Amino acid sequence: MPCMSKYAVVRVGGKQYKVVEGKEVLVDKLTDPKKFDVETLLFVDNDKVKVGKPVLKDVKVSLKVLADMEKGEKIEIYKFKAKADIRDTQVSDLNTQDFWLKSLIKISNYNSLPS
């Protein structure tokens, strides 16, 4: 069954994200949100797939920062010690992850895909 969408897999800050044009993406906290490097690893347009070795030079993905840092969900921590009958549950706000909300602006230069 053919895939009927256009999306790309990009690397931002050492992690990979699947991005779709016009959708928002939560990206891990970066040191400088204004300067970030986006490398395109894979591009899919309906039935056409283009894979980089390791990066695609002719496919450009543009991202824009929409909002400042957001906090992730709180993490529940379960502690258990065998044979000591100790079971403890904590809800920690310290272990939440920080995210940047980014919006995918455009995927460009994809007309040169092989048929």
State how far Cα 103 lies from the chain centre: 11
* pLDDT score recorded for residue 105: 66
Q: Which stretches of the chain score pLDDT less than 70?
A: 1-4, 31, 33-34, 90-97, 100-105, 109-115
> How many degrees, rounded to 5, is the angle at CA 108 between CA 112 and CA 3?
70
Answer whether 0.85 is exceeded by the pTM: no
- The span from the CA of 72 to the CA of 94, in Å, is 11
Amino acid at 38: V
Query: Strands 15-20, 86-92: parallel, antiparallel or unpaired by DSSP?
Result: unpaired
Amino acid at 52: G
Strand partners, 38: 12
